[in-house]
């Protein structure tokens, strides 16, 4: 993991969120980065195995109340959450949560309808 982070830092790419799951057979590192296109190019050039998935980034101004509202809205829309993690950086000074869901379009529509602020790549990139 250190080698991957050093590679990203050397090319001015920030790791904004990180999750590592390890088992006896393998490890999976999931990262949200400031420049996904550059990371795809770098990983391809350096033979780093990777996959890409869509994420929804939700700004959380008041985490305690908004988290339950967010989860309830997704439940009502029957959107499954596969994994989440908080961003290491705080865009605009607020907490943010990255979510991978089974229906990104539906989740986006539902969360916007509930008044959540969704962040774009430009919001979290330098």
Q: Looking at residues 85-105, what average pLDDT do you find? A: 88
Question: pLDDT by residue (tens digit) across 41-60?
Answer: 999 999 999 999 999 999 98
Domains and CATH numbers, the chain: 2-45 (no CATH), 56-124 (3.30.70.260)
Q: Are 42 and 7 in contact (CB under 8 A)?
A: yes
Give the global pTM. Answer: 0.82
DSSP state for residue 92 in the 8-state scheme: G
Q: What is the CA radius of gyration of the chain?
A: 15
Quick one: which of 7, 107, 6, 98 has its CA closest to 60? 98
Q: Give pLDDT, residue 107.
A: 97
DSSP state for residue 80 in the 8-state scheme: P
Q: Give pLDDT, residue 88.
A: 84
Least confident of 33-42, 83-92, 114-123: 83-92
Question: With pLDDT > 70 as the criterion, what percentage of the chain qualifies?
Answer: 98
Question: pLDDT by residue (tens digit) across 26-37?
Answer: 888 999 999 999
Residue 126 pLDDT exceeds 80: no
Residue 90 pLDDT exceeds 80: no
């Amino acid at each position: 993991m250190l080698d991957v982070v050093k590679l990203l830092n050397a090319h001015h790419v920030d790791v904004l969120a990180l999750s590592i799951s390890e088992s006896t057979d393998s490890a999976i590192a999931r990262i949200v980065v400031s420049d996904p296109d550059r990371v795809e190019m770098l990983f391809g050039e350096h033979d780093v195995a990777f996959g890409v998935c869509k994420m929804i980034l939700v700004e959380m101004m008041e985490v305690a109340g908004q988290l339950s509202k967010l989860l309830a809205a997704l439940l009502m829309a029957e959107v499954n959450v596969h994994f989440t993690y908080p961003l290491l950086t705080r865009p605009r000074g607020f907490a943010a949560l990255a979510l991978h869901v089974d229906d990104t379009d539906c989740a986006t529509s539902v969360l916007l309808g509930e008044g959540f602020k969704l962040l774009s790549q430009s919001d979290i990139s330098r």
